[in-house]
Amino acid sequence: MFNKRAMAVACGWALFLTHSLAQAVPQSAESSRPKINLFPTSVVASLSETSRAAREMESGMYTVVTRLDQQKQAYESTQCENSEDVGCVQLRKAIRGSYKDMLDVMQQSIPQMRTTLDDTVNSMGGSLRAEIGRKMTPGDVQRILAGRSASNAMSPRVSASGNRQGKLSKMFSRYYELVKRGGGQADALPVLASQIYLDSMQSLYFLDLIEAEIGSQSTELVLELEWGELTDQISATVTDVKALLWGDTDRSEDILEVGLETPPQQDTYSDLLVR
Amino acid sequence: MKNSIRKLFAASTTALLMAGLGACSQTPTQVSQQCELSETSNVDRLFAEVGEKLQDRSCHYSYPRYRDQLLSAAKGSPGPDNEARFAGLLRDTIDQGVISKRQGQALFSQYFDPEFYVVKDEARSSCSSLRQKDKLYAGMRSELAFKREGMLEILNDKQRFREAQQHFTDLQLVLDAVEVACTQDV
């Protein structure tokens, strides 16, 4: 008789504990969102370095590329193509001179830019791989994105500086500022980390493209062709350089809005939603 | 002796199969008579009718058809109330054992949750999952189509569908980057 009563009490406690635990699990799962550190010191340092290198490259390039662009526009608008008019010949010569200047500046700046971009790609890629790729399931990533409201406080601030700033340096300095300001909240920013990583890779791709084009056109060849037509290669290189430095449209402002808005949460159907 | 056992086994298997096939062919025709829904376009009445029909175990076979009819009726009368109607019905169908809780959650999430059920269902690490990225993305795309149906056509909730689209874009951006990072390690 006593044994039966003891069994019943034990079973009752077991049931109660099981029930309590079952109720506790979703709450603790909710509060213990996966913790990640996507922006260790190495990433922040390489971002700062990339931003500085990009600014240096741009300041060296801006004058020469603008001059080249103006000359090219004048050449096209005056229908100088295939013309032997003295003015057109001089304009072609001036374009080639500017082009050579641009190649020289690029050749000097590319190695440093590449080194800093490589560092950013490697450190950011390492972080993404270790913190998300190996530690988390895609569902964990989704949970982090869903709980990103904390990151809203650090929406990008538009630079008050009136200085002319290129796309590349602006992009990286904004990234740097965001990551730096993020502090403890930075673990909730896989979107930002991904954007930095993919943009760095794309910038490296453009650098490779430009370097390959520069390599295939020796400056001697450019000067030899003084009297010939402007080649497509020259136009292509100028286009790539402009895309790298300033872009067709400046995406740097809206990029950072992606994924940082706060979605209003409706949670009245928790039994039918998987968390 | 062995031959006679074999013959007996073959005969009984055939008889069982015939009986099974007969049952399969007869059940739906019997069910369709008593489980048919009325032609009403009133969404509330239709949900109530489905609720009543599902009290009858023999109508459980008709559940997929009911679900499609309800989805199409709700599209004819879009609004936020439809979410509660579907939630109520799904809870009842889960309680009655017509569908499992997991099936109910899958259906509700696919249509009404801005987050992606197909992503939540993935148990492996991101690096491993992304080896089949195309399959995962295809699943997300088809789920986004369900969400479009559920959130825009049934609930008329544009804001929620935008959230789902934002999730879709964010997830693809992050997973694309993670996939590249994972492959760079190889």
pLDDT above 90: percentage of residues in chain B: 71
At residue B172, what is the residue type? Answer: Q
Chain A hits for B174, CB-CB cut-off 8 Å, are: 132, 141, 145, 190-191, 193-194
Give residue A177's pLDDT: 76
Q: Please count the structural domains in chain B.
A: 2
Note the pLDDT tens digit of each residue in A98-137: 888 888 888 888 888 899 999 999 999 999 999 999 999 9
How close A153 gets to chain B, by Cα (Å)?
Answer: 18
Residues B136, B182 within the same domain: yes
Inter-chain residue contact B184 with A259, CB threshold 8 Å: no
Residues B92, B120 within the same domain: no
pLDDT bin (cut points 50, 70, 90) of residue B185 is low
- Domain of residue B50: give its range: 32-99
List Cβ neighbours of A147 (8 Å cut-off, separation of 6 or more).
Answer: A33, A188
pLDDT bin (cut points 50, 70, 90) of residue A225 is low
Contact status, residue A171 vs residue A46, Cβ threshold 8 Å: no
Q: Is the backbone of residue A82 left (phi > 0), alpha (psi -120 to 50) or beta?
A: left
For residue B125, give the nearest of A137, A269, A271 by CB distance.
A137
Note the pLDDT tens digit of each residue in B64-89: 999 999 999 999 999 999 999 999 99
Residue B17, domain member (yes or no): no
Determine contact: A26 vs chain B, CB below 8 A: no
Chain A hits for B90, CB-CB cut-off 8 Å, are: 272
On average, the pLDDT of chain A sits at 70
pLDDT bin (cut points 50, 70, 90) of residue A160 is very low
Residue B125, domain member (yes or no): yes
At residue B94, what is the residue type? Answer: I
How close B50 gets to chain A, by Cα (Å)?
Answer: 19
Residue B135, domain member (yes or no): yes
How close A266 gets to chain B, by Cα (Å)?
Answer: 9
Residue B106, domain member (yes or no): no
Give residue A50's pLDDT: 87
Determine contact: A185 vs chain B, CB below 8 A: no
Residue B177, domain member (yes or no): yes
pLDDT surpasses 50 at A244? yes
Angle subtended at Cα A153 by Cα A148 and Cα A154, rounded to the nearest 5 degrees: 95
Give residue A15's pLDDT: 39
Q: Is the backbone of residue B156 left (phi > 0), alpha (psi -120 to 50) or beta?
A: left
Residues B48, B92 within the same domain: yes
* Secondary structure of residue A34 in the 3-state scheme: coil
Residues B120, B167 within the same domain: yes
Give residue A240's pLDDT: 73
Note the pLDDT tens digit of each residue in A41-92: 888 888 888 888 888 888 888 788 888 888 888 888 888 887 888 888 888 8
* Secondary structure of residue B24 in the 3-state scheme: helix
Length reported for chain A: 275
Give residue B4's pLDDT: 55
pLDDT surpasses 70 at A261? no
Determine contact: A68 vs chain B, CB below 8 A: no
pLDDT bin (cut points 50, 70, 90) of residue A243 is confident
Task: Give the chain B residue whose CA is nearest to the CA of A144.
Answer: B171
pLDDT above 90: percentage of residues in chain A: 11
Inter-chain residue contact A197 with B177, CB threshold 8 Å: yes
pLDDT bin (cut points 50, 70, 90) of residue A207 is confident
Residue that terminates a domain, selected from B54, B71, B99:
B99
Residues B80, B36 within the same domain: yes
Q: Which residue has the tokens 């004058």?
A: A63
Residue B50, domain member (yes or no): yes
pTM of the model: 0.68
For residue A141, give the nearest of B126, B159, B163 by CB distance.
B126
Handedness of CA B130, B132, B134, B138 (dihedral sign): negative
Chain A hits for B123, CB-CB cut-off 8 Å, are: 137, 139
The CB density around residue B97, as the number of other CB atoms within 10 Å, is 9
pLDDT surpasses 60 at B30? no
The CA-atom distances, in angstroms, between B74 and each of A83, A151, B154, B157 are 70, 37, 6, 13
Chain B hits for A134, CB-CB cut-off 8 Å, are: 125-127
The CA-atom distances, in angstroms, between B133 and each of A219, A231, A252, B146, B169 are 45, 42, 27, 20, 14
List Cβ neighbours of A226 (8 Å cut-off, separation of 6 or more).
Answer: A92, A93, A96
pLDDT, average across residues A217-228? 56
Residues B90, B121 within the same domain: no
pLDDT surpasses 60 at A237? yes
Residue that terminates a domain, selected from B72, B99, B126:
B99
Residues B181, B120 within the same domain: yes
On average, the pLDDT of chain B sits at 85
Residue B22, domain member (yes or no): no
Residues B91, B131 within the same domain: no
Note the pLDDT tens digit of each residue in B117-149: 999 989 999 999 999 999 999 999 999 999 999
How close A134 gets to chain B, by Cα (Å)?
Answer: 6
pLDDT bin (cut points 50, 70, 90) of residue A258 is very low
**ipTM computed for the complex:** 0.77
A52 or A237, which is more confident? A52
Residues B117, B161 within the same domain: yes
pLDDT surpasses 50 at A170? yes
pLDDT surpasses 90 at B46? yes
pLDDT, average across residues A161-181? 65
Give residue B20's pLDDT: 40
Residue B123, domain member (yes or no): yes
pLDDT, average across residues A212-232? 62
Give residue A102's pLDDT: 81
Inter-chain residue contact A128 with B177, CB threshold 8 Å: yes
Inter-chain residue contact A142 with B171, CB threshold 8 Å: yes
Residues B86, B118 within the same domain: no
Task: Give the chain B residue whose CA is nearest to the CA of A259.
Answer: B170
